[in-house]
Every structure is written in C-alpha cells, then in structure tokens.
A and B are shown apart, each in its own frame.
Chain A
C-alpha cells in the first residue's frame, strides 16, 4: 500500500481541524450551560453571556486556518518535490501540535468564560472585562499553536 505524501499532508490538515472543532464545541457548551443558568435567573445579561459564550469558537477558526495553509501552500510544494520521502508524515506531525493546542485551549476557554458567566449576577456585569482579560491568556496559547505549527513547517522547508 503506497500512500502519497500529499494525501498524508491532507490527513494532517484534517487532524488539526478536528482538534479545533472538538475544543470549540466543548468550550462553547461549558460556557453555554452556565449561561442558561445565569439567564434563567436574570435575563438582562444576555449580551454579556453571548459575548463570553462565543469566545471558544475561535479555536475552530484557527483549525480552519491551519487546514487551508496545508492545502494551499504545503501540498503544492510537496507535489513539486521530486522525492518527498517522509514529508507527508512530517506534516501530520506538525498538525498534532496544532490539534492539541486548539483542543485543550478551546476546553479551557470554555471553563474560564463559564466562570465569568456564573459571576455576572454577583458583580452586576462588572466581571466582563476581567473575564475577557483572562480568556485572552488562554487564547494566546491557541495563537501560539498556529504560530509554532507554521514555524515548524517553515523550518522543514514545506512552506
């Protein structure tokens, strides 16, 4: 069974997107069920709840970015190589970086935003700013996931 290097690279892109979507779903739901509890008590915080619950979706978009980069930049480069060797598997390896980063930061974003949502009533909505500041810390790790995946692909000469 001979599997071409470009196809393995496409597998890598799918792995990265899977991690991103999985983390985004779990994160938005963790924030979402706390949002339901908060809105059941006081429906006027709808806007803050929507803002905080939507933040984990970014990990899905980062996964899409990595997939598109792999399909549009890396795959043509591998196709142009006379002998790709293990390049396909190397792309799968780099997307493991991205998948782990997006999955776990999505879940953590959900728990941080969920805590922020639970505290909306007690602080009369004042917690929104600080919750966003803390969410950005976790978001930074997902951004580092994108950056380091691109860095690794560049160092391998595949970008």
Chain B
C-alpha cells in the first residue's frame, strides 16, 4: 500500500469536508424534527422555520474551503518539496482540527436552532432574532476552526 505524503494531505482535506457534512446533517436533523411539530401547531411560521433550519448548512462550505485550499495550495507545495518527511501527516492533523470544529459547531448550532424553532408558536415568531444571535455564537467557532486551520498550515510553512 503506497501512502504518499500528498495523499495523506488529501485525506486531511477530505476529513475536514466530511466533518462539515456530518455536522450539517446532524444539525439540520436536530432542527428539522422540532420544525415539523412547530408547523403542525402554527403553519404561519414556515418562513422563520426555513431561516432557522438552514443555518447549520454553512459549516459544509467551511469544510469545502479547507479541502479546496489543501488541494490547490498545500498539495503542490508538498509535491515540490525534495523531502516532505512527515508533512502529509501534519496536514492530516490540521484537517482533523477543521473536521472537529465544523462537525460539532454545526450539530450544536442545529440544537440551538431546534430550541428556537420549538418556541416560535408560543412567542409568535418574536424569538427569531434572539435564536439567530445565539446560533451565530456557535457559528463563530466554525469560523475559528477554518481560521486556525489555515493559521496552522501557514505556521508549518505548507501554505
């Protein structure tokens, strides 16, 4: 089995995107289930429901950004190195940072949106602003995951 440093780096990028997709799926599921119950109580909340349910999807695109950056900038850098050594594994490690950040922030953002969605009928939609604000707190962690992964790759001289 030949595992070259470039393919280990690609695995790192893939895991980052996989984490984003996983977290988004779980988050949209945790928001979508209460959404069905909310719409049975008050079908007029459909627009607010759609806004809150789509919030966890952003982390997929953060993971995609990490994968594209690794494929277009890091992998050619590694290929141009005379002796890459453990660089491939280092990129894989950075991908794990991004994967954990995107997966957990998306999943738990979905939990927060789900709570907001269940309160929509009772507050007649007034909870929307506060729910979005609290969801953005968690979104920040997803953004930090992206930023710190790029920072780590730069500090390793691989970017």
Interface residues of A (CB under 8 A from B): 1-3, 5, 8, 84-90, 92-94, 96-97, 99-101, 103-105, 107-109, 111-112, 114-116, 119, 122-123, 126-127, 130-131, 133-135, 137-138, 140-142, 144-145, 148, 152, 155-156
Contacts and interface: CB of A to CB of B under 8 A. Distances in A.
B1 A111 contact: no
B33 A112 contact: yes
B37 interface: yes
Contact of A130 (B5, B13, B43): B43
B29 A107 contact: yes
A123 B49 CA distance: 18
Nearest to A8: B1
B105 to A, nearest CB: 15
B18 A105 contact: no
Given A2-B1, A144-B60, A104 B33 contact: no
Contact of A108 (B15, B26, B46, B67): B26
Main secondary structure on B side of the interface with A:
helix
Nearest to A99: B18
Contact of B10 (A93, A115, A122): A93
B24 interface: yes
Main secondary structure on A side of the interface with B:
helix
B19 interface: yes
Interface in B19-43: 19, 21-22, 24-26, 28-30, 32-37, 39-40, 43
B14 A94 contact: yes
B11 interface: yes
A3 B2 CA distance: 7
14 contacts: A86-B7, A89-B10, A89-B11, A92-B11, A97-B67, A104-B26, A108-B28, A108-B30, A111-B30, A134-B36, A134-B53, A141-B25, A145-B21, A152-B14
